[in-house]
Chains A and B, each alone.
Chain A
Amino acid sequence: MSQNLTVVVVEQNHDRAFAIVDALKAYGDVDVFVIGNVSGLARKIATHDPDIVLIDIDNPSRDMLEELTVASGPLERPVAMFVSGAAGGLARAAVEAGVSAYVVDGLQADRIKPVMDTAIARFQVLRQIRVELAETRRALEERKVIDRAKGLIMKSRGVPEDEAYALLRKTAMNQNRRVAEVADALVTASGLLS
C-alpha cells in the first residue's frame, strides 16, 4: 500500500498554486499535482488517480468535478464528496473557508485532517489577500473617476476644485447615492456628449 497521499490542486493562478503546494509539502508525505488549465478537467484529474482533490469553492469549474461523483465517471473507483463520511465537521469548515475537497472513498479521516487543515489555513490567507487587493483596486478606480468628474465640473462651471467636490457630494447626498456613482454618471454622460 502506498503511504503517500496524492493530492491534486486545481488552481489557475500560479502564485496561489505554489503557495498551496509549499504548504502541503511542508506537512510531509504528500504528492501534490497542480492543474492550471481546467479544460477536460475530470479526465486530467483521473490520470493522477488522486486521494484528494482541492479546489477553490468560487471556481465555477468545480461543477466539472461532480462527474467524478457519478459511479460511471472516468475514475474507476467512485469518488465520494468529503461530507458523506464521518468527517462532517471538517467538511463544513472547508466550505466556510472557501475550499472544497473531494476525497476518494475509504480514506481514513485522521490522515485527511492534517492535509485539509493545512490547505484550509492557506486558502484562508490567500482569500484575504485577494479581497484586500480587489478592494484597493476598486478604491483606486473610484478616485480616478472622481478626479475626472471634478475636472469636468471645474471646466464647465469655472469653479475651484473644492467647490466642484462639494457639488458632487451634495448631489450624491440629495440623490441618496455614492459620490463615486454620481461621478461615474457624469463622466459617462460627458463622454456621450463630447
Chain B
Amino acid sequence: MRTVALPVAYMPLVDAAPLVVAREMGFDHAEGISLDLRPAPSWSSLRDMLAFGHVDAAHLLSPIPVAIALGQGGITTPISAVSVLSLNGNVVGVGAQLARKLVDQGYGFDFIDAKAAGAALAKAADDTLIFGVPFPFSMHVELLRYWVAGTELASKNVEIRTVPPPLMAQALAAREIDAFCVGEPWGSFAVEDQFGALLLPGRAIWNCAPEKVLAVRNDWAQTEPHLLGSLMRAVWRAGRWLSNPDSRSTASEMLARKAYLNVSPELVDRALMGEFTISPSGEHRHVEGFVEFFEGAATFPWRSQAKWIAHQMAKRNGLEVGAAEHAAAKVFRSDLYRQAMHRSGIETPGASEKLEGALPEPMAVASAKGSLILSRNVFFDRRIFEPSE
C-alpha cells in the first residue's frame, strides 16, 4: 500500500512513546501514512520546526500552544493541540544537599503526599529555593507554581529557572539550582548519577495533568484534514496498545533504542511500570499510573485543560484571566478530535469541558454511543477548577 510520509518532531523522552509506538508497530501504515520521526535538540527548536513548516506535527509541552495563543514567547504562528499524548509523567527532585537535610530531619519520602512534601522541603530549604525546569512554558512550571502556592513553600522566595535536563547536574553542582522538575528518563538519571533524589511524581500535585500534546499548525489542519485524521487515529491506537500492561516491556525496548532515547531499557521501564528508585541508596517506590497514554479518555483534548493552563499563566503574567481562558479554549481542539475518531467509531465524550479536579473516584460520562469512564481527577489541595464561560 502506498503511504504518505509525514514528518513529525519529538523530544527524546519516555512520553514520546505514542509516536514511537505508532511508527514501530505499524499503526501509521495501517492508516496510510508513514511517520518520519525527527528528534529535536530543544523545546524551542521543536516548536520552531513545527511553526516554520519543517514538520507537520509535533510532540509538544501542553502549555506551549496555549502560550502562543496568549501572545507569550515570541512565536505567532497559531498552533492547535489536536489530542493529548500523555497525562502526568514528571518528577520533582532535589539536589544531594537538600536530600541529606530532608533525611536528617526524618522525612520519609513517601512519594505520595504533596502537602507533607512541601512542608518538609520548606523546613529543609533556605529562604530562597531555586527550581530548574526544562522550559518556561511547561506543565513542570505550572505544577511547581500550583504546589508552591498551596503549601508552606509559599513563604519562601521560590524561583524557577530554565535548565536543559542534560545540564541539570552541572547546575545543581554550581548551586545555580537547588531542586528540579523534569520528565522521565531525566529524573531517574539524576538518581542513577547520584546528584539527586526524587521527592514527588507530578501526579501527586495534579493526577490528571495534560503533559504533552500532539500539535499541528492551524493552516495545516485546515488543508490536510484527512492526513490529520490518519495521524490522530494512528497515535490513538498506539496509546491503546501502550495501555496494555503486557506491552510495556516491549515498549521500553523500543524507546530505549539508539534511534530514540538511547538509554538503557531498564531506565525507561521505571516510568512505564511506575517502579521508581528514588535515591542513590536504592530506595524504591511504586507509582500507579505514573504516566497515562490512554485510560479514562486520557487523549481527549478538554478545553477546560487549556483554560486551567491559561488561568495560571494569566494570573502570573498580569493578563486578563477571562480573555486568556477564552483564547486558550480555542487551542485544544475537541472538535477535530471528535471528527477524526468518529470515522472509526471510537468513543469520545459528549462534552468538551469539565470541572478539573472534581472527580475523587472514576466516573462514567455520556459519550456518543453510550458511556466512557473518566479517571480520578484531583488536585493535591482538593480544590476544584471551574472554567469560565
Binding site for B on A (CB under 8 A): 38-40, 42, 57-67, 69-72, 79-81, 83-84, 91-92, 95-96, 100, 102
List 17 interface pairs A-B (beta carbons < 8 Å), by A numbering.
Answer: A39-B171, A40-B176, A42-B162, A60-B166, A63-B44, A63-B164, A64-B163, A64-B164, A66-B136, A67-B161, A69-B73, A69-B136, A79-B74, A80-B74, A83-B75, A84-B74, A95-B49
Decide if B170 touches A39 in the complex (CB within 8 Å). yes
Decide if A63 touches B43 in the complex (CB within 8 Å). yes
With a CB–CB cut-off of 8 A, which chain B residues contact A61?
A: 42, 164, 167
Seed contacts A42-B161, A61-B42; 20 additional CB < 8 Å A-B pairs:
A38-B167, A39-B167, A39-B174, A39-B176, A42-B162, A57-B45, A60-B166, A62-B41, A64-B162, A66-B136, A66-B162, A67-B136, A70-B136, A79-B74, A80-B74, A81-B73, A81-B75, A83-B74, A84-B74, A100-B45
With A and B bound together, what is the CA distance between A173 and B104 in angstroms?
A: 60
Closest 5 A/B residue pairs (Cβ): A81-B74, A60-B164, A62-B42, A69-B74, A63-B42
Q: Report B105-134 residues with CB < 8 Å from chain A CB.
A: 134
Binding site for A on B (CB under 8 A): 41-45, 48-49, 51-52, 54, 72-77, 134-137, 161-164, 166-167, 170-171, 174, 176, 317
With A and B bound together, what is the CA distance between A66 and B45 in angstroms?
A: 11
B225 to chain A minimum Cβ distance, whole angstroms, is: 25
With a CB–CB cut-off of 8 A, which chain B residues contact A80?
A: 74
With a CB–CB cut-off of 8 A, which chain A residues contact B45?
A: 57-58, 62, 100
**In the complex with contacts A69-B74, A83-B75, A63-B171 CB distance below 8 A:** no
With a CB–CB cut-off of 8 A, which chain A residues contact B75?
A: 81, 83-84
With a CB–CB cut-off of 8 A, which chain B residues contact A96?
A: 54
With A and B bound together, what is the CA distance between A61 and B168 in angstroms?
A: 11
With a CB–CB cut-off of 8 A, which chain B residues contact A59?
A: 41-42
With a CB–CB cut-off of 8 A, which chain B residues contact A81?
A: 73-75
Decide if B44 touches A100 in the complex (CB within 8 Å). yes
Interface residues of chain B: helix, strand, loop or mixed (majority) = loop
Decide if A60 touches B74 in the complex (CB within 8 Å). no
With a CB–CB cut-off of 8 A, which chain B residues contact A60?
A: 41-42, 164, 166-167
B336 to chain A minimum Cβ distance, whole angstroms, is: 25
In the complex, which of the residues B49, B162, B171 has the most CB atoms of chain A within 10 Å of its own CB atom? B162
**Which residue of chain B has the shortest Cβ distance to A98 in the bound complex?**
B45
Decide if A95 touches B44 in the complex (CB within 8 Å). no
A177 to chain B minimum Cβ distance, whole angstroms, is: 14
Decide if B171 touches A62 in the complex (CB within 8 Å). no
With A and B bound together, what is the CA distance between A95 and B45 in angstroms?
A: 9
Decide if B74 touches A67 in the complex (CB within 8 Å). no
With a CB–CB cut-off of 8 A, which chain B residues contact A39?
A: 167, 170-171, 174, 176
**Which residue of chain A has the shortest Cβ distance to B134 in the bound complex?**
A63
Decide if B162 touches A63 in the complex (CB within 8 Å). yes
B44 to chain A minimum Cβ distance, whole angstroms, is: 5
With A and B bound together, what is the CA distance between A28 and B54 in angstroms?
A: 33
With A and B bound together, what is the CA distance between A71 and B67 in angstroms?
A: 13
Contact partner of B41 (CB less than 8 A), chosen from A57, A72, A91, A95, is A57
With A and B bound together, what is the CA distance between A39 and B172 in angstroms?
A: 11
With a CB–CB cut-off of 8 A, which chain A residues contact B49?
A: 95
**Which residue of chain A has the shortest Cβ distance to B72 in the bound complex?**
A70
With a CB–CB cut-off of 8 A, which chain A residues contact B73?
A: 66, 69-70, 81
With a CB–CB cut-off of 8 A, which chain A residues contact B134?
A: 63
With A and B bound together, what is the CA distance between A79 and B136 in angstroms?
A: 14
Decide if B135 touches A66 in the complex (CB within 8 Å). yes
B12 to chain A minimum Cβ distance, whole angstroms, is: 11
With A and B bound together, what is the CA distance between A40 and B44 in angstroms?
A: 18
Decide if A91 touches B52 in the complex (CB within 8 Å). yes
With A and B bound together, what is the CA distance between A57 and B9 in angstroms?
A: 14
